Amino acid sequence: MRSFPRRSAPLSRIARIILLACALPGLAVALAQPPATPEYALKAAFIYNFARFTNWPERPDRLLRLCVLGRDPFGDALDTIDRKEVGQLQVAVTRLRNAGEAMRSCQIVFIADSEVDDFLMLPERVRLAAGVLTIAEREGAARQGIIIELSTEDRKIGFEFNQASAREARLDISSKLLRLARRVY
């Protein structure tokens, strides 16, 4: 009978520690982003299409930053559009807590319900920053100056559009998109 060399206990413990250390970052990411609900998977697709129907200025870094401001309701749904192409630009999804930073570094800002009130209190020159498409779900957000208000009615996703705010932000949005809006202000 052939005997195999026996591993020493310290090596076995070290191997377990290494495996655990390698697994923890993936586990942390999985826990940080809960799975997407069908509603938010659809809303992520809407946001991607809003980006596609907007003429964006050429960017030297070739990135189109999509930022979620506040508590992220999307779970992992936005990950499906991260790194997708919009014309010559590549979507880069980021999650932020600071409205000022979002308006300086992002081209699309989804304002979570937890942040809408604070966002609307910002000075107009900050809220309507040039080249920034703002999106929120709060009822009445488009009437209050947010460019796109996403809504769910009878299990259907729709949106309202604030044309005056888009003009103020110097965004050129396709009329094809505007025809799909439930309401244009």
User: How far is residue 31's CA from residue 16's CA, in Å, rounded to a whole number?
Assistant: 21
Architecture per CATH, 38-184: 3-Layer(aba) Sandwich (3.40)
Report the pLDDT value the prediction gives residue 138, as an integer from 0 to 100. Answer: 96
Range in 24-38, 61-75, 78-92, 134-148 with the lowest mean pLDDT:
24-38
**Would you put residue 26 in left (φ > 0), alpha (ψ -120 to 50) or beta?**
alpha
Whether the Cβ atoms of residue 69 and residue 96 lie closer than 8 Å to each other: yes
Per residue in 125-176, pLDDT tens? 888 888 999 999 999 999 999 999 999 999 899 999 999 999 999 999 999 9
SS3 content of the chain, % helix, strand, coil (to 5): 40, 25, 40
Q: What is the pLDDT of residue 130?
A: 87
Q: Full-prediction pTM beyond 0.85?
A: no
